[in-house]
Amino acid sequence: MSPLGPVKGRGAPANPAGRFERLAREPCDDGWNSLDELAADPAPATRTIVDHARAIITRNDSPDIPFDRSINPYQGCEHGCVYCYARPSHAYLGLSAGLDFETRIMIKPRAAELLRAELARPGYRPAALSLGANTDPYQPLEKGLRITRGILEVLHETRHPVGIVTKSALVLRDLDLLAPMSRQGLARVWLSVTTLDGALARRLEPRAAGPQRRLDTVRALAAAGVEVGVLVAPIIPALTDHELERIVAAAAAAGARSCGYTLVRLPFEVKELMAAWLEAHYPDRARHVLSLIRQCRDGRLNDPRFGHRHRGQGLYAELIAQRFARATARHDLARRHLPARTDLFRPPGTERQLTLL
């Protein structure tokens, strides 16, 4: 990969070809200052592409994930988190995991309609559904498109349990739905906080809410009676790991009731993007960061094995786990659990039908 350096307002420093593409392109100096001109180009604008999906609930049977179903209103994410494990999914669309992931966003405008149809099926059995498992359901496009809002309206109507993970303060817009659902044991929200350093966050997650804004969102959710937690995710060795205890303490002070963490993993194209990002922003510690990640990943930058991918292994990973356990115990924060109540579920349309018995 030949990075062009930081791109204003974007996380990825390059736009490499996807791993399934036959051709690869990289910038080359033609002797006429072409690289300078390319680097001076304005940041690429966001484009939306309609996903004509015929189903909206994604199923999984992963033993190290606490849910078996999720909904992703968007594929791709404007937040631009350079470390995002979801970036490689754009390769299946013939797009890049780099800038394309941040600027070419697949949207699902029929999500609420499709969800209503799936929940109405006679054989459907409710269980906690995750919003934000792959990309953020409250990324900037949601403010205008309101796709996540439509999904929540269906879940509220049918009294279906849901857990939400986001980096956005936009979740507060839906307090009118989330607060009563949470009081019934049907909704929980987690804010992902990677760092408390605003300058680092602007480079690492350029279009996500700043750290203090996320903590303010935790405080507002808690004040409204919503069950809320914080995910210290991901922890990046030699870059954000020293903040672990401070983030947990800040989460508790803001009213969080639970806390979780993940250790950074760099699958497929993400490893090259992260290496290029480190060289562009933190060249003095780039090799050290990658070396520590390898120590936690059996010598690699990603270990996809169930039970290892989220926490890592080895002495450094064990140290992180011990520090996290002590920090959460000190502040009496519970482990992350999705809402499990399903006895209130009523399929769409049943409130308008007479019961047989």
**In which band, very low, low, confident or very high, does the pLDDT at 2 lie, cut at 50, 70 and 90?**
very low
Contacts of 284 (CB under 8 A, 6+ apart): none
Strands, DSSP E only, in 223-289?
227-235, 258-263
In three-state secondary structure terms, 259 is strand
174, HSE (Cβ side, Cα atoms, 13 Å): 28
Amino acid at 81: C
Average pLDDT over residues 87-96: 94
Tokens 């989460």 sit at which residue? 251
Q: Tens digit of pLDDT for each residue in 158-213?
A: 999 999 999 999 999 999 999 999 999 999 999 999 999 999 999 999 999 999 99
Q: Would you state the structure tokens that stand for residue 36, as one six-digit string?
A: 């300078």
CB atoms within 10 A of CB 346: 13
Binning pLDDT at 50, 70 and 90, where does residue 7 land? confident
Q: What is the pLDDT of residues 257-308, one digit of tens each?
A: 999 999 999 999 999 999 999 999 999 999 999 999 999 999 999 999 998 8
Tell me the per-residue pLDDT of 112-159, one tens digit each, with 9 for 90 and over. 999 999 999 999 999 999 998 899 999 999 999 999 999 999 999 999
pLDDT band of residue 351 (cuts 50, 70, 90) is: low
User: With bands split at pLDDT 50, 70 and 90, how would you rate the model's confidence at 17?
Assistant: confident
Q: Would you place residue 9 in the very low, low, confident or very high pLDDT band (cuts 50, 70, 90)?
A: confident
Tokens representing residue 24 in the block? 């690869």
What mean pLDDT do residues 311-329 have?
97
Contact 105, 51 (CB under 8 A): no
Report field, pTM of the whole predicted structure over 0.85: yes
Q: How confident is the model at residue 254 (pLDDT cuts 50, 70, 90)?
A: very high
Using left for φ > 0, alpha for ψ between -120 and 50, and beta otherwise, residue 266 falls in: beta
Q: How high is the mean pLDDT of the chain?
A: 92
Q: Is the pLDDT higher at 32 or at 70?
A: 70
**34 pLDDT higher than 70:** no
* Domains of the chain, first to last: 49-345 (3.20.20.70)
